[in-house]
Amino acid sequence: MSQRSRFFVDPKVQMAIIRRMMMHWSLTVLALLAIGIGVQMVYAPGNQSVWQAIARSFGAQAPLLCLMFMLIPVYVWDIVKLSHRFAGPMLRLRGILNELADGGRATQLKFRPGDFWQDTATDFNRFYKEHIDLKNRCEELQNELKLLTDRGADAASIDVEADEITV
């Protein structure tokens, strides 16, 4: 990721992934807390109330909870780094497709080492080569047609003058 200049390459996609990861993380923490409270209620001596079980459970799990909360930025950073490996290539692919759609002549698609979907770049580059070849051939045919129609127009005007026929 050191080559990338932005934290988010595709914010919509990457934020959706972060939200999903946070949802799973939150559910995991809640499940661990519920298990801890359940264990305190089952194995606690005597008649303790639910609130006492919750307090004992939080007391026992406080270091783990603190550690998990402190690790959230690490999880987010790692998810963003991982998502760069597929969001970045799709951003480059979209840029090249937009340039081609606007009539430009984009360069071939090249992903960074370690990016996902390297085969997609290879497949796109095969398509790109065929597209450029067809575009060049189309331009050649348009030029030939223009030459032929210009010659035909000159010949028609000569015929018109000779025969005095208006076209």
- DSSP state letter for 158: H
Please name the residue that has the structure tokens 């770049």: 121
Domain span at residue 141 reads: 117-167
**Is residue 160 predicted with pLDDT exceeding 80?**
no
161 part of a folded domain: yes
80 part of a folded domain: yes
6 part of a folded domain: yes
Q: Does residue 121 sit in the same domain as residue 100?
A: no
Higher pLDDT, 121 or 163: 121
Q: How many CB atoms lie within 10 A of CB 48?
A: 13
% the chain with pLDDT above 70: 89
How confident is the model over 3-19, as a mean pLDDT? 87
109 part of a folded domain: no
Q: How many CB atoms lie within 10 A of CB 30?
A: 10
In SS3 terms, 35-57 reads as HHHHHHHHHCCCCCCHHHHHHHH
Which pLDDT score is estimated for 167?
Answer: 36
Q: Does residue 16 sit in the same domain as residue 86?
A: yes
Q: Does residue 56 sit in the same domain as residue 138?
A: no
Residue 29: what are its φ and ψ, rounded to 5°?
-65, -45
149 part of a folded domain: yes
Alpha carbons 131 and 100: distance in angstroms, whole number = 9
Q: Does residue 42 sit in the same domain as residue 90?
A: yes
46-94 pLDDT, tens digit per residue, is 788 888 888 989 999 999 999 999 999 999 999 999 999 999 999 999 9
pTM comes to: 0.68
Structurally, the chain folds into a number of domains equal to 2
Q: Does residue 68 sit in the same domain as residue 125?
A: no
112 part of a folded domain: no
91-117 pLDDT, tens digit per residue, is 999 999 999 888 887 788 899 999 998
96 part of a folded domain: yes
pLDDT confidence of 41, banded at 50, 70, 90?
confident
Which pLDDT score is estimated for 106?
Answer: 79
Q: Does residue 86 sit in the same domain as residue 139?
A: no
Alpha carbons 80 and 15: distance in angstroms, whole number = 9
Higher pLDDT, 52 or 161: 52
Q: Does residue 126 sit in the same domain as residue 100?
A: no
Q: Does residue 25 sit in the same domain as residue 78?
A: yes
Q: Does residue 8 sit in the same domain as residue 72?
A: yes
Q: Does residue 95 sit in the same domain as residue 140?
A: no
Query: CB under 8 Å to 53, separation ≥6 — which residues?
Result: 37, 40, 41, 44
Query: CB under 8 Å to 117, separation ≥6 — which residues?
Result: 86, 89, 90, 111
Consecutive H or E run containing 75: helix 72-101
59 part of a folded domain: yes
